[in-house]
């Protein structure tokens, strides 16, 4: 739950700093779901832009950038480098999530990178490199639950509220605080009920 909560804290930072993304997401939710009911997982296929926003928020937040240490069980070669058996390694998810081969201009927040030009089909390269939960036998056990929670909670929030910088305030600091997870600095946010 701590990782989901941290990702949601980052999500609000991204919404505050990218008002155009927030408005486009709200329009899609209004058009598909409306405001009389809450979004559900059944809506996901009809909400490609909102889904792409959730993916981009996870990619950019990258809250567990230093993965759990592993060790090689056999002599291994990766990228021309020999790694002996029983060597401790630290998978670097950041190198994949910020990799320019999969994500052009990876420092820029751009949900459309997950979509093809039709705005509905997901970009295979971007999706294949999307590994915030790690992969293989050591993938996060809570991945399915976390994906569902992030989608439903974030879309429910965006459906009902708008997030902005308070009057006289400043944009949130985008530099993470390093710890077990990368967390945003404390920030102020104006939350307005959408009428």
What pLDDT was estimated at residue 59? 84
Q: How far apart are CA 60 and CA 69, in angstroms?
A: 22
Q: 40-50 in b/e burial notation, b at 16+ Cβ within 10 A? A: eeebbeebbbb
Listed by start position, the domains of the chain span: 2-193
Per-residue pLDDT of the chain (195 residues; tens, 9 = 90+): 578 899 899 999 999 999 999 999 999 999 999 999 999 999 999 999 999 999 999 888 887 766 778 888 999 998 899 999 999 988 777 777 777 888 889 899 999 998 999 999 988 887 777 666 666 676 666 677 777 899 999 999 999 999 999 999 999 999 999 887 889 999 999 999 998
- 140 assigned binding-site residue: yes
23 closest CA partner among 191, 152, 159: 159
Report the half-sphere exposure of 77 (CA within 13 A, side-chain side): 1
Q: How far apart are CA 25 and CA 12, in angstroms?
A: 13
Superfamily of domain 2-193: Cytochrome P450 (1.10.630.10)
What pLDDT was estimated at residue 142? 67
3-state DSSP assignment of residue 75: coil
What pLDDT was estimated at residue 148? 87
């Amino acid at each position: 739950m701590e990782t989901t909560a941290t990702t949601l804290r980052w999500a609000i930072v991204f919404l505050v700093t990218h008002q155009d993304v927030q408005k486009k997401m709200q329009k899609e939710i209004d058009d598909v779901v409306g405001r009389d009911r809450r979004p559900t997982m059944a809506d996901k296929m009809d909400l490609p832009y909102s889904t792409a926003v959730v993916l981009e928020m996870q990619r950019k937040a990258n809250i567990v950038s230093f993965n759990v240490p592993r060790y090689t069980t056999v002599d291994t070669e990766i990228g021309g480098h020999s790694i002996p058996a029983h060597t401790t390694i630290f998978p670097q998810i950041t190198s994949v999530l910020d990799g320019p081969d999969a994500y052009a201009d990876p420092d820029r927040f751009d949900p459309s990178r997950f979509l093809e030009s039709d705005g509905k089909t997901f970009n295979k390269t971007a999706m294949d490199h999307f590994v915030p939960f790690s992969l293989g036998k050591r993938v996060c056990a809570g991945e399915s639950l976390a994906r569902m929670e992030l989608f439903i909670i974030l879309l429910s929030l965006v459906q009902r509220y708008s997030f902005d910088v308070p009057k006289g305030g400043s944009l949130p600091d985008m530099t993470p605080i390093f710890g077990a997870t990368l967390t945003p600095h404390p920030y102020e946010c104006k939350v307005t009920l959408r009428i």
